[in-house]
C-alpha cells in the first residue's frame, strides 16, 4: 500500500470538499445516470450504480435526487449520452495528475481541461503518459474500532492491505474485491469514513511553498469543472 502519504491526502482533500458539497450534486447525478443507463437501475445487480449511489450519499445528496437520477438514466435520459474520459497531465514540480470526467461533449471538455492546466501552472499530457504511474484500488477507512478485529474481517473478505494510519484503519483492496470487503465491514457494524474506488500513485513527489500551492490550486480548479468526477495526483506536502 502507498501508505501515510495517500491517506493524509484523502483527509486533506475531504476537508476541502466539505466546504463545497452542493457543487458536487450535479456530478453525483451524472455518475448515477450513466451507471443506470449502462447497467440498469438495480444497484444490487449493477455495481457501478452502487458505487455512484454510495458516493452521492456520502456527499449528503438527498434520496429523492438520487431516485430522479436513476429514473433519468433508465427511462428519461433524453438525447444526452455521457461517456467516461480520463485526462492526463502534469502540475508544478512534475506532479502527475489524472482527471476522471463524464462528458456529453469531448469537444467542449478537452479544451476546458487544456485551458485549466495551462492557466494554473500545468500542462496536458498524451494518453498513457501518466496513467501508468497509478494503480486502481478500492480504498476504505474505519475509525474508532479495534485494529485486530477490522484486520481479520477485511482480510477474510479479500483486502490487500490493512494498516493503522494515526488511529485510522486504512484498507486497500483490488477493484474486484472492493464490494465484498465493504459489505463485510458494514455487516460487522463498522462506520466507514472512506469507501471509494480510486487511483493510488506508485510514487510521490514532495513539494512545498509556491509549487505546492500551484498544484493545490490547479487541482481545485479542475474539480470545479462540472464534467470532472475526481482528480488524482501524486503530490505530498513537505513536513
The reply to whether 214 and 194 lie within a common domain is: no
The reply to whether 28 and 57 lie within a common domain is: yes
The reply to whether 122 and 233 lie within a common domain is: yes
The reply to whether 125 and 206 lie within a common domain is: yes
**What pTM does this model have?**
0.77
What pLDDT is attached to residue 16?
54
Model confidence pLDDT, tens digit, residues 50-102: 888 988 888 888 898 888 888 888 876 555 677 889 999 999 999 999 999 98
Which of 74, 99, 122 finishes a domain?
A: 74
What pLDDT is attached to residue 23?
62
The CATH number given to whatever domain includes residue 210 is: 3.30.70.980
Which of 74, 98, 122 finishes a domain?
A: 74
Residue 10 has pLDDT above 70, yes or no: no
The CATH number given to whatever domain includes residue 67 is: 1.10.10.200
Cα–Cα distance, 122 to 116 (Å, whole number): 8
The reply to whether 147 and 191 lie within a common domain is: yes
More confident residue, 199 or 2: 199
Residue 180 has pLDDT above 70, yes or no: yes
The reply to whether 113 and 225 lie within a common domain is: yes
The reply to whether 194 and 164 lie within a common domain is: yes
Q: Tell the burial category of 225 from Cβ atoms under 10 Å away from its Cβ (0-12, 13-18, 19+).
A: middle
* HEC readout, the chain: CCCHHHHHHHHHHHHHHHCCHHHHHHHHHHHHHHHHHHHCCCCCCCHHHHHHHHHHHHCCCCHHHHHHHHHHHHCCCCCCCCEEEEEEEECHHHCEEEEEEEECCHHHHHHHHHHHHHHCCCEECCCCCCHHHEEEEEEEEEECCCHHHHHHHHHHHCCCEEEEECCEEEEEECHHHHHHHHHHHHHCCCCEEEEEEEEEECCCEEECHHHHHHHHHHHHHHHHCCCEEEEEECEEECC
**Assigned C-alpha cell, 107:** 469537444
Domain total for the chain?
Answer: 3
The reply to whether 96 and 39 lie within a common domain is: no
Cα–Cα distance, 128 to 7 (Å, whole number): 25
The reply to whether 27 and 143 lie within a common domain is: no
Residue pair 191/160 in contact (Cβ under 8 Å)? The answer is no
State the residue for C-alpha cell 501524486: 234
The reply to whether 189 and 155 lie within a common domain is: yes
What pLDDT is attached to residue 38?
78
Which structural domain range is residue 179 located in? 134-201
The dihedrals phi and psi of 59, each to the nearest 5 degrees, come to: -90, 15
State the residue for C-alpha cell 449520452: 81
The reply to whether 60 and 167 lie within a common domain is: no
Lowest mean pLDDT segment, chosen from 43-52, 121-130, 169-178: 43-52
Residue 20 has pLDDT above 60, yes or no: no
The reply to whether 215 and 196 lie within a common domain is: no
**Assigned C-alpha cell, 39:** 447497467
What pLDDT is attached to residue 1?
42
Amino acid at each position: 500500500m502507498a501508505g501515510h502519504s495517500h491517506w493524509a491526502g484523502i483527509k486533506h482533500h475531504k476537508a476541502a470538499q466539505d466546504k463545497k458539497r452542493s457543487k458536487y450534486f450535479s456530478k453525483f447525478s451524472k455518475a448515477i445516470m450513466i451507471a443506470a443507463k449502462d447497467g440498469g437501475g438495480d444497484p444490487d445487480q449493477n455495481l457501478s450504480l452502487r458505487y455512484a449511489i454510495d458516493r452521492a450519499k456520502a456527499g449528503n445528496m438527498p434520496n429523492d435526487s438520487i431516485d430522479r437520477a436513476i429514473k433519468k438514466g433508465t427511462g428519461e435520459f433524453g438525447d444526452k449520452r455521457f461517456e467516461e474520459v480520463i485526462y492526463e497531465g502534469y502540475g508544478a514540480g512534475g506532479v502527475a495528475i489524472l482527471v476522471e470526467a463524464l462528458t456529453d461533449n469531448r469537444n467542449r471538455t478537452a479544451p476546458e481541461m487544456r485551458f485549466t492546466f495551462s492557466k494554473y501552472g500545468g500542462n496536458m499530457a498524451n494518453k498513457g503518459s501518466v496513467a501508468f504511474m497509478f494503480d486502481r484500488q478500492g480504498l476504505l477507512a474505519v475509525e474508532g474500532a479495534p485494529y485486530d478485529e477490522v484486520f481479520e474481517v477485511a482480510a477474510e473478505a479479500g483486502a490487500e492491505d490493512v494498516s493503522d494510519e494515526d488511529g485510522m484503519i486504512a484498507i486497500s483492496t483490488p477493484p474486484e474485491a472492493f464490494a465484498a470487503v465493504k459489505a463485510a465491514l458494514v455487516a460487522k457494524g463498522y462506520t466507514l469514513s472512506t469507501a471509494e474506488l480510486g487511483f493510488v500513485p506508485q510514487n510521490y513527489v514532495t513539494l512545498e511553498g509556491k509549487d505546492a500551492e500551484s498544484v493545490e490550486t490547479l487541482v481545485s480548479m479542475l474539480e470545479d469543472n462540472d464534467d470532472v468526477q475526481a482528480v488524482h495526483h501524486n503530490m505530498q506536502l513537505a513536513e
